Amino acid sequence: MTAAAPDPLTAPEPVHTALTSWYHRAARDLPWRRRDCSAWGVLVSEAMLQQTPVSRVVPRWHEWMRRWPTPQHAAEAPVAEILTVWDRLGYPRRALRLQESAQVIVDRHGGQVPQTAAELRQLPGVGEYTAAAVACFAFDQPEVVVDTNIRRVHARVFAGDALPGKTYTSDQRRLAHSVFPDPAVDDGELACTWNIAVMELGALVCTARSPSCTACPVAEFCAWRLAGSPPPTEQQRTRAQTWAGTDRQVRGAIMAALRTGGPAARSDLLAELPLPAVDMVQRSRCMESLIADGLAEQRQDKVALPGALA
């Protein structure tokens, strides 16, 4: 038996009105939000935006769309070029999955991005969030979209919690559905606007560390603020991830060297990485992991981006 949705401490309807009105006034003019952006452009943006700031994504998105404006173009592109254009967005496997998705779109959908969340979930690397986001933002399908920013706004405004914690829980999922506008109203337009408005509020105002409550359009309804803005509990706190000396840092440095320097002797490339505190064992391990992930290739003693070794 499915558990009942937790009752929000704040009624959602006034929040819907206030927040969507604010969004129409305050929304950032991002290229993938424009009405003339293709569904492919929306899918590319969602792949790039995962755990990456908008400021870093915008120039990469423009370059990607200039080179590969359709799934067909991306499917036919050399892998080395795909990874080079991806540049320092992080998690370069996302670039490979995006190109694989382009190939599936060409092979199974006639080159057109599928319109439903269920079909989108069948694309490589597309999970629940991305499928719902593309269906909503590209095709006006009233899907419940939940990312980190949206979880935080839900937690504060409706549940009275300082932070949502690291994990998207079943209670949070039920809360997201319970405060979602009725999709039957105005053909789902309010529901779709609600998704992007909550996301924008979390990105610009209701931030994790320094929320601007005085500038918040729904401050008068916020359960967390009305409770006196209590600090997060231990379960809600999110510990900052370290970066220096991690495999992620080493893998990123190797990818940067391959993108900018081209094919190189493996021993020379690893020895010249600007990571004085990282030993050669870790450098070599990270190189092997990149090769295993299909992000680099080795022939004899030479390493390069995939397809770059003659």
Rounded to whole angstroms, the maximal C-alpha distance in the chain is 65
Q: Is 128 exposed, middle or buried (0-12, 13-18, 19+ CB in 10 A)?
A: middle
Strand order in the sheet with 302-304: 264-265, 302-304, 297-299
Catalytic residue status for 220? no
Does residue 294 contact residue 302 with C-beta atoms inside 8 Å?
no
Cα 259 from Cα 253, distance rounded (Å): 10
Distances (CA, A) of 201 to 6, 78, 150, 185, 261: 23, 38, 8, 22, 41
| Cα–Cα distance for residue pair 199/180, rounded to 1 Å | 13
C-alpha count within 13 angstroms, C-beta hemisphere, residue 63: 14
Catalytic entry in 13, 46, 76, 143: 46
Distance CA(224)–CA(9), nearest Å, equals: 9
**Cβ(152)–Cβ(163) under 8 Å?**
yes
Catalytic residue numbers, as ranges: 46
